Amino acid sequence: MMELVYTIRRSPKRKTLTITVERDRSVVVHAPEKMTDEALQQIVDSKRQWVLSKLLHPQKYQERMHPPGKELVNGESAPYLGKDYRIEIGETRSGKVELSRIFTIPAAKREQRRDVLREWYIERAKETILDRVKLHAKELGVTYAASRIVDSRYRWGSCTLKNSVNFNWRLIKAPMFVIDYVVVHELSHLLEPNHTERFWSIVRTNSPRMERAKSWLKEQGQLLEQEL
C-alpha cells in the first residue's frame, strides 16, 4: 500500500478539515487547531483514495523548466489574458497600474513595482475569473459554496471537499479559453469527483477547446508561474 505523506497546518480560525494536493505532489491537511490527531487521521484515511487519484493525475505535475523572474524595467513585457504587453515606468491618472496598449507602472511605485503589478493581476483575476465561475456554474447547473482567488504556486484550481472552488490568480495571464477550461474542470468535480470517463465527457462538452487548453498549460504553464 502506498504510504500517504502529508503536512498538517492547523489554524484557530478553521472550523473544518480540508486536504489539498499541490502540483509538486505535496499533500497539505488544513485542520482546526483543536482537532485531535485521531480525528484528523480518520478523516485523512477516509479520503485516501481521493488523495491518491489527485497524486496520480498526470497533467498537473510538470516540473518547472523556466527560471523565475523578470526585472520589470522599461521595455520588458508582462502577459495578460494570453497577450504580452510592454512595461513602462511613468505617470498614470489614477496613480495605479494602468493597461491600454502597454502596462504603465507609476514612477512613484518604482521600488514596489513587483508588488503593485501583482496586486493589479489579483484584482483583475477577481473580476474576470470569478465572473466566469458564475457563468459556467449556471451552464453546468451546479452550485458551489464559495469561489476564491488564491495564491497557489502549484495548482491552477481546486475543488474542495466542502464544494468550494479556488483559482490561482496567475491564471489571469493565460488566454480566456484556458481560464474557461480550468473553471469548467473544477466545477465539473461538483458533478463527478473523480477523473472518470463521465468527468472528462462533462468537461469536454462544456469546454470544447479542452485539449488545446491542456496542451497550452503543459507547454506554457511554467511561464505563468514566473515571479513578477
- Structural domain count, the chain: 2
Residues 157 and 92 occupy one common structural domain:
yes
pLDDT tens-digit profile of 14-34? 888 888 877 667 888 999 999
Residues 30 and 91 occupy one common structural domain:
no
> Residue 22: inside a domain, yes or no?
yes
Average pLDDT over residues 187-199: 92
Question: From residue 106, how far is each of 46, 125, 135, 172 by CA, in Å?
Answer: 52, 21, 34, 21
> Residue 64: inside a domain, yes or no?
no
Query: For residues 57 and 49, what is the distance between their CA atoms, to the nearest angstrom?
Result: 12
> Residue 98: inside a domain, yes or no?
yes
> Residue 61: inside a domain, yes or no?
no
Average pLDDT over residues 134-148: 95
Note if the pTM is more than 0.75: no
Average pLDDT over residues 60-84: 60
pLDDT tens-digit profile of 31-71? 999 999 999 999 999 988 888 887 776 555 444 333 334 44
| Beta-carbon count within 10 A of 163 CB | 13
User: Could you tell me which residues are beta bridge partners of residue 88?
Assistant: 104
CATH code assigned at 189: 3.30.2010.10
Q: What value does the mean pLDDT of the chain take?
A: 84
Query: For residues 51 and 159, what is the distance between their CA atoms, to the nearest angstrom?
Result: 12
**pLDDT of amino acid 106:** 82
Residue 66 φ then ψ, to 5°: -110, 140
> Residue 167: inside a domain, yes or no?
yes
- Residues spanned by the domain of 167: 77-224
Higher per-residue pLDDT: 77 or 228: 77
> Residue 151: inside a domain, yes or no?
yes
Cβ partners under 8 Å of residue 184, min gap 6: 136, 140, 203, 206, 207, 210
